[in-house]
Structure 1
């Protein structure tokens, strides 16, 4: 509870902003879905085969996994709000169409005949008899769609659209239950509030409902239009993956670019999501820069039979060459630190058995009770490979989700885990990463991945971002991650402080 209170105290404005983004995306999606589905159901109410076809199509669309749909949309419409709204509309159309069609086609035939006997025209019968009688079903469809939209809208955070999903995804990524609870509970509260509001609206007359809907359309459209007009045109968009480290780096890029090029407008999109989303967004031109690791490039992004070597410089040069030849992307100079795999133990355990390197584990291998991420446990560059390279055979090993392995070692459930060298939990739980003295793990140096188009337009950015080349040690990054992830300091402030302290950025 204290963690949740601390988040509200330190991130209150950000939470309010995220709630506003979530509401905005959800309302826009619901209105568009309603404008599509309700008229379509009215149009097809007397065309059963066509209605069944549309229902089948919308049902199939709803089975597409949301992540897959977002991945498909990025190259077509970019990132941010637009692909998020499109995806949400796709999911919301089916329940609204189905309920509207069912409500209109299950009206008592005697009432239909009576309306015709009174000489009502088709339009008057629709407005006076059919829609009012179908309204409970229509409202039910809207409520189902709204709850679905608010829940699914949490994934909008993966492509830079913001919302409460940012807190849920960050909570999962950093094993921070407080962030997870804040995002999940606020999303649930929003769903309940809007469900109750829609139910309340259903008790109003058709005329009043029309006025409310028209007002919402005007308000939402007006706000969206104002944002487009008022917001300065962004020249460069810098994005980062989930977590504190990418957010720190993209703020460093932003500060350096704006210092050296005052006329360039820069926007950052933190906690964008996974590697594949960012890479697609960069290739499609939706973003211009994002920090990527050399090992990740060779393992996941380019086609190569060589793979990462154990030489950081050779790995970087190969990654740079392949990115240029295969995707026409520029990979600028890497920083000093590597965010690679590490074997991690408690400082007290290391002190007791004089452990400084991975080789030192040989003397205590029978005492090791290890907890590994499932991937690390199985992959050749994980436990199978390192046990062979160092001739290690631990007394006991078990797999566990990456999000809980640090808590497991902190609570003495295990005494060794896999991790990454810049993880803030190493400092938080008083741990130590053992030195890979045989250089088994491939290098993972971070460097700016930039579109060739951007550097053609602004060639001076190359020199600007290369100011970080060879800078930032593992200890430096670990401490900055700790301040952002654990102490909840602003990533922008932490990034600026480092740059100023090391003379890379001028004081303002």
Structure 2
């Protein structure tokens, strides 16, 4: 499961392509989004948590210019889930829309994938960043993901068109499962760079740290080993004895791998701890893990009304790499910075916006 994956998704979606007049008005959509956000805030408070501030710094145009002839009342509602990466991406989306001249309602920090999905399919929000694998497996109910990044994006784009949602070009960042090794062990183990390289190691060096869910998933640890010609519980030439596998809490996997409890730890590819702990992600050279590339998803009616939004967000996506998100996530999770400030500084540094 990726960091945002719920156990189930919504069962229905709105029809696509309804004429603008038959769709909720902008004001109605804003109120709907606000109502969902209000309920989300209450849910957070009930759990002892507080929602993130909706404030983001002002944004002046940079390479993102104000859209010509944009009406003064042009409005965009941006939503996101409530974990670090999604908060950073949500603030990036808000800042971009502000620089383009929109009045923006910031509905980021909504708890869970399902609530965000319902905001988008009910047209209570105009924009979110979503993961291709999450949409395909959780929302659309397919049993298997598509490892090829382009094919996975094209599949969700085509299917979600029927829900009145348009997927723009995906970013290079792919927040999927992976295995990582501590940097100093790469050469010690014989220049291990790919998952296939693990098969070349002696049996006693094939040691793994994994979380309990991944260990038990039908598409998890055991089938991954089988994909690479290894047998969980086996003691022969291609075996991985169960004694070589440590089942740990998700957060503990990173530190345990860094401290040498195991050679290979299960990680998410854009987690900030990869950089802060000095871990190296191994290439999934046989394409076992599904693609979870992030992409801008826009309400199709909103995009028809403001087609310039495609150019606004298409110029940002190529810059959103695994390494970039690792660093931005690290600044929030390790340094304790606010997601809005991290997003703002990155947008300024890349030239997308300027300080007002």
Shorter chain as normaliser: what TM range?
0.7 to 0.9
Q: CA deviation at 1:153?
A: 4.4
> What is the aligned partner in structure 1 of residue 78 from structure 2?
238
> 2:77–2:104: 8 Å Cα contact kept in structure 1?
yes
Q: CA deviation at 1:496?
A: 2.7
2:272 paired with 1:432: no
> 1:81–1:156: 8 Å Cα contact kept in structure 2?
no
Superposed, 1:62-101 pairs within 5 Å as: 78-80=32-34
Structure 2 residues not aligned, in runs of 5+: 1-5, 15-28, 53-72, 231-238
After superposition, the Cα gap between the structure-2 partners of 1:82 and 1:239, relative to the gap in structure 1 and judged at 3 Å, is closer
Distance 2:306 2:167 in 1: 15
Superposed, 1:468-479 pairs within 5 Å as: 468-479=316-327
Q: TM-score when scaled to structure 1?
A: 0.53
Q: Which has the larger radius of gyration?
A: 1
1:358 to 185, 195, 208: 195
Distance 2:43 2:344 in 1: 30
2:186 paired with 1:338: no
> What is the aligned partner in structure 1 of residue 138 from structure 2?
300
2:254 to 400, 406, 409: 406
Superposed, 1:57-206 pairs within 5 Å as: 78-80=32-34, 153=42, 155-156=44-45, 164-166=49-51
Distance 1:272 1:234 in 2: 23
For residues 216-256 of structure 1, what are the alpha-carbon distances to aligned partners after superposition, in whole Å with 9 as ceiling and x for unaligned? xxxxxxxxxxxxxxxxx993221222222112211211222
> 1:342–1:433: 8 Å Cα contact kept in structure 2?
yes
Q: TM-score when scaled to structure 2?
A: 0.74
Distance 1:276 1:460 in 2: 28
For residues 69-122 of structure 1, what are the alpha-carbon distances to aligned partners after superposition, in whole Å with 9 as ceiling and x for unaligned? xx99xx99845567856x9xxxxxxxxxxxxxxxxxxxxxxxxxxxxxxxxxxx
> What is the aligned partner in structure 2 of residue 483 from structure 1?
331
Q: CA deviation at 1:421?
A: 0.8
For residues 341-399 of structure 1, what are the alpha-carbon distances to aligned partners after superposition, in whole Å with 9 as ceiling and x for unaligned? 11012112223112211112121443233221223212343212220111124342233
Distance 2:355 2:299 in 1: 29
1:315 to 152, 174, 178: 152
After superposition, the Cα gap between the structure-2 partners of 1:156 and 1:451, relative to the gap in structure 1 and judged at 3 Å, is farther
Distance 2:159 2:240 in 1: 38
Distance 1:289 1:500 in 2: 21
Distance 1:154 1:497 in 2: 31
Secondary structure of 2:173's partner?
coil
Structure 1 residues not aligned, in runs of 5+: 1-66, 88-151, 168-232
Distance 1:494 1:406 in 2: 23
Q: CA deviation at 1:456?
A: 3.0
Distance 2:37 2:99 in 1: 32
Larger proportion of strand: 2
